[in-house]
Structure 1
Amino acid sequence: MNKYQLPQDSKLRSPEFVFGVATSSYQIEGGVMEGGRTPSIWDTFCKKPGAVDNGDSGDVACDHYHLWKQDIEMIQGLGVDAYRLSIAWPRILPRDGEVNPEGLAFYEQIIDECHARGLKVFVTLYHWDLPQYLEDKGGWLNRETAYKFAEYADVVSRHFGNKVDVYTTLNEPFVSAFLGYRWGEHAPGIKGEKEGFLASHHLMLGHGLAMPVLRKNAPKSKHGVVFNASPGYALTPADQGAADYADAENYQWFIDPVLKGEYPQLVLDKRADVVPMILEGDLDIISAPVDYIGINYYSRNLVHFDEQGDVKKVIPEGAECTYIGWEIYPQGLRDLMIRLNERYDNLPPIYITENGAAGNDEITQNKVNDEQRVRYFQSHLEALDEALKAGVRIDGYFAWSLMDNFEWAFGYCQRFGIVHVDYNTQQRTLKQSAIAYRNMLIERAEEHNNG
């Protein structure tokens, strides 16, 4: 398939619909000791024996810190409308209260280059790389970190203002709270049920505190927050309660306080032993109006109750999975969009801010035939089209990821990119999925230009 096929009557063909690619700072930048940057929790975590596969780290990653200009040229060549990136907090505030002009200048040149090439810029303020000096004071277990986040948001948005088209406060608070502070699989590697839920509340409080700051400093930009969501499905009719709880803890715990001003009762009841102290006024802060929400979708949660009554995920026999064992289930994207539309009366426009698949991608004769990923994107774009036709407002779609990169605790063994990276030479090679994406977008642009 040399391009993705969009239905003739699809809103995905509209020039107003935003197509983009996405990355994050620690996953691609490298240059961890350059430009005035100080360590993040990921620099520290990567040094722990056994924490990351192969002992990998983001020290060099894709060397985007030095290769940013050619990377943006490559992005423009894909024909996308927008680039979603994240800013490294420790590049901007290397020490508590100290602003680093060199860090701001690094991102300013990227933003300016994107705009010069006709690309919209979506900036995420927090994609998990908390400054280590804040972790030393308790990190997201310390309520003060929420206020420090608002200060950081103020520094960034005062500097860039409306130059950033779309601001995102947090990327996937579920992951930073639960994988980082509940299960210990991500930085900072803390394990504890109470800790995970406490971190989640402080993250959401940080989001809420930052929203009015962002609006004041960048009144013409859009402002919102990004959640990962895997819709729950019952293995048998008797397991519907498991599916309902999976949804409640997986994403409603994070979205409900923003859009409903409350935490889901299912979780409050089931996990009363670990629910954090929620101070009066906290939910009013967290539920500040947002212009959009981003949804990162990869797969579904097919679940059942085990013998202890706990919710367990299963992969159905015979299901097609990606290289890392995630079930490919495009219908879940359509179902998720419809469920969100039904649950929230005030649902703002949605961007699909991440969607993609990991492969065991190899170069053969200067080509990467990632046939499974090509089918993955095609089927998920079709599912997105179905959601649009069902009446859900979705304003954009971002492929994850622009290029292979540091995949957190899995190091470099997982390749999510539509562009292959040779980590020895930093050579970038467009995979078949990138070529199909580019060809689709070129065709869409030609349709629009031809009237």
Structure 2
Amino acid sequence: MITFPKDFLWGAATSAPQTEGAALLDGKSPSTWDKWFEMEPELFFDGVGPNDTSNVYVQYKEDIALMKKMSMNSYRTSIAWTRLLPDGKTLNPKAVAFYRDYFEEMIKQGIEPIINLFHFDMPWWLMEKGGWEARESVDHFAFYAKTAFEQFGDIVKKWATFNEPLVHIECGYMGDAHYPKVHDFKRAIQVGYHTLLAHAAAVKAYKESSQNDGEIGIILNLSPVYAKSEEPADQEARHKADLIYIRSFVDTVVHGYFPQEFIDLLEENQLLPETQAGDRTIFEENTVDFLGVNYYQPLRVQAVENPRFPAQSPGDFARYYDWPEKRINPHRGWEIYPEGMYDIAMRLKKDYYNIPWYVSENGMGVEGEEQFLDAQGVIQDDYRIAFLEDHLAMLAKAMQEGSQCFGYHMWTFVDCWSWLNAYKNRYGFYRLNREQNYARSDKASSYWMKQVIEQSGFEYGGHL
């Protein structure tokens, strides 16, 4: 029997831009996603843009009733900056009314809201000023955070500043998956620096708020880094990848400073960002209370044969290694490695003073999931249940060894819109049928998880 504490937080996670819809209604201004879809709709799977997501702006009470049906006791979503402060300055009363009712309804049904401030949805008015490349973005974000704390801090007691900041940095400034589709390592580093400074400024705003009797953290995608071999060159590649993808974030938000090795690596490659006097103090004085950890698959690396110098991308420090023994999700193409969950937990215990944390995302995406629909209209997602069992078994093992994990949230509750991929890959406990007035229907995993929550554990047959 795999068991968890009675007060463990069980739930699911999503974001405002991936669920709310109503992208330009009731005073909301456009984000980069809204404008990008307007400019290049052909890039979006099936032509589905951010206005046509899961209709949560209308159906949130229905979803919360389903959460209660599943016995969930917590839920993570985000606030749309563009809805709360459409021009960055002026409070939108319709947004305040919507979010207050949304969060209060959760509380009324015994579900704790964990609320994130930024989930890749940069306001267009700020993008036109340079987005996270512009130093002024730090002050704009701090003001937005302060406003959110003032308006909802009496309801919300667990806050996060950013979800996966690595993603908007890497996908927007070293790739084409996010706007503005820039390929420039130095600009990406500057975006990363301002993002982390904005995070620290938001933590500062929370501490100075009159509604500061809760906790504030950040949500990071921590894919443990494994080397191809014990050879020195492969180990050096692993070390540098770990510095870039893991320690540059975790050291900064937990310890309050960037790793010196990371600074040295940037300096050697002429990649240091522009900073200002006083920045160091902001980082040092505004560390997090907890971490949210998103884990889907590990990062496997090997040495680079002909690296460029100075480096022009992270690929000049380490390149991807395709481990021939990996288990694979055949419906998505991602590696399934539950042991990574345990390794993350142990590292947080050892290197980050066993900081309290929770699994803020973990899950299994499946394309063409309707093929598993039975005669009763239920998706028989046994593959997802097996995925959950294996990862929860590894999590329980880590907790038995002293890791301070306080919750588990699966991505996601109801199938949600996913950036350029729309509804191509389904992750939810509940199926969304957009063609039938956004109807929600059960998946077998929702029944399984309800039982796990109610008995604080499950009988594990073992898949590992």
TM-score using structure 2 length: 0.90
Instruction: Kindly indicate whether residue 257 of structure 2 is the aligned counterpart of residue 262 of structure 1.
Output: yes
Per the TM alignment, residue 318 of structure 1 is displaced from its structure 2 partner at its CA by 4.7
Q: Which residue is 2:28 aligned to?
A: 37
Q: Which residue is 1:233 aligned to?
A: 226
Structure 2 counterparts to residues 219-230 of structure 1, below 5 A = 219-230=212-223
- Relative to structure 1, the CA distance from residue 133 to residue 376 in structure 2 (aligned partners, 3 Å threshold; closer, same or farther) is same
- Which secondary structure does the structure 2 equivalent of 1:424 belong to? helix
Equivalent residue for 1:364, pick from 374, 388, 410: 374
Q: Which residue is 2:430 aligned to?
A: 419
Maintained 8 Å contact 2:84/2:92: yes
Q: Which residue is 1:375 aligned to?
A: 386
Q: Distance in 2 between matches of 1:246 and 1:443?
A: 40
Equivalent residue for 1:333, pick from 334, 341, 349: 341
Maintained 8 Å contact 1:47/1:55: no
Per the TM alignment, residue 22 of structure 1 is displaced from its structure 2 partner at its CA by 0.9
- Which secondary structure does the structure 1 equivalent of 2:167 belong to? helix
Instruction: Kindly indicate whether residue 357 of structure 2 is the aligned counterpart of residue 350 of structure 1.
Output: yes
Instruction: Kindly indicate whether residue 436 of structure 2 is the aligned counterpart of residue 438 of structure 1.
Output: no
Q: Which residue is 2:71 aligned to?
A: 79
Q: Which residue is 2:193 aligned to?
A: 201
Q: Which residue is 2:133 aligned to?
A: 141
Q: Which residue is 1:247 aligned to?
A: 242
State the AA in 2 paired with 1:283.
R
Maintained 8 Å contact 2:88/2:144: no
Q: Distance in 2 between matches of 1:181 and 1:307?
A: 24
Q: Distance in 2 between matches of 1:284 and 1:351?
A: 27
Maintained 8 Å contact 1:230/1:247: no
Q: Distance in 2 between matches of 1:279 and 1:341?
A: 33
Structure 2 counterparts to residues 157-306 of structure 1, below 5 A = 157-215=149-207, 216-238=209-231, 239-272=234-267, 273-287=270-284, 288-306=286-304
Q: Distance in 2 between matches of 1:125 and 1:411?
A: 22
Maintained 8 Å contact 1:315/1:327: no
Maintained 8 Å contact 1:45/1:189: no
Structure 2 counterparts to residues 388-407 of structure 1, below 5 A = 388-407=399-418
Q: Which residue is 1:449 aligned to?
A: none
Equivalent residue for 1:103, pick from 90, 95, 113: 95
Per the TM alignment, residue 122 of structure 1 is displaced from its structure 2 partner at its CA by 0.5
Per the TM alignment, residue 111 of structure 1 is displaced from its structure 2 partner at its CA by 0.6
Q: Distance in 2 between matches of 1:213 and 1:196?
A: 25
State the AA in 1 paired with 2:119.
H
Measured against aligned partners, the alpha-carbon deviations of 1:81-109 in whole angstroms (never above 9, x if no partner) come to 10111000000011131110101111111
State the AA in 2 paired with 1:261.
G
- Relative to structure 1, the CA distance from residue 158 to residue 258 in structure 2 (aligned partners, 3 Å threshold; closer, same or farther) is same
Per the TM alignment, residue 158 of structure 1 is displaced from its structure 2 partner at its CA by 0.6
Per the TM alignment, residue 48 of structure 1 is displaced from its structure 2 partner at its CA by 4.0
- Relative to structure 1, the CA distance from residue 315 to residue 76 in structure 2 (aligned partners, 3 Å threshold; closer, same or farther) is farther
Maintained 8 Å contact 2:256/2:287: no
Per the TM alignment, residue 257 of structure 1 is displaced from its structure 2 partner at its CA by 1.3
Per the TM alignment, residue 51 of structure 1 is displaced from its structure 2 partner at its CA by 3.5
Consecutive aligned runs of 4 or more in structure 1 exceeding 6 Å deviation: none
Say what the alpha-carbon RMSD is for the aligned residues: 1.7
Q: Distance in 2 between matches of 1:279 and 1:391?
A: 40
Q: Distance in 2 between matches of 1:259 and 1:200?
A: 16
State the AA in 1 paired with 2:227.
A
Larger mean CA deviation between 139-148 and 256-265 belongs to 256-265
- Which secondary structure does the structure 1 equivalent of 2:7 belong to? coil
Measured against aligned partners, the alpha-carbon deviations of 1:135-191 in whole angstroms (never above 9, x if no partner) come to 111110001111101100111111112310211111111112221223232133232
Larger mean CA deviation between 161-170 and 308-317 belongs to 308-317
- Which secondary structure does the structure 1 equivalent of 2:346 belong to? helix
Maintained 8 Å contact 2:31/2:122: yes
- Which secondary structure does the structure 2 equivalent of 1:124 belong to? strand
Q: Which sections of structure 2, spanning at least 5 residues, go unmatched?
A: 308-315, 459-464
Equivalent residue for 2:323, pick from 308, 316, 331: 316
State the AA in 1 paired with 2:427.
F
Q: Which residue is 2:311 aligned to?
A: none
Quote the sequence identity (%): 30
Q: Distance in 2 between matches of 1:65 and 1:119?
A: 18
Larger mean CA deviation between 306-315 and 114-123 belongs to 306-315
Q: Which residue is 2:462 aligned to?
A: none
Maintained 8 Å contact 1:355/1:400: yes
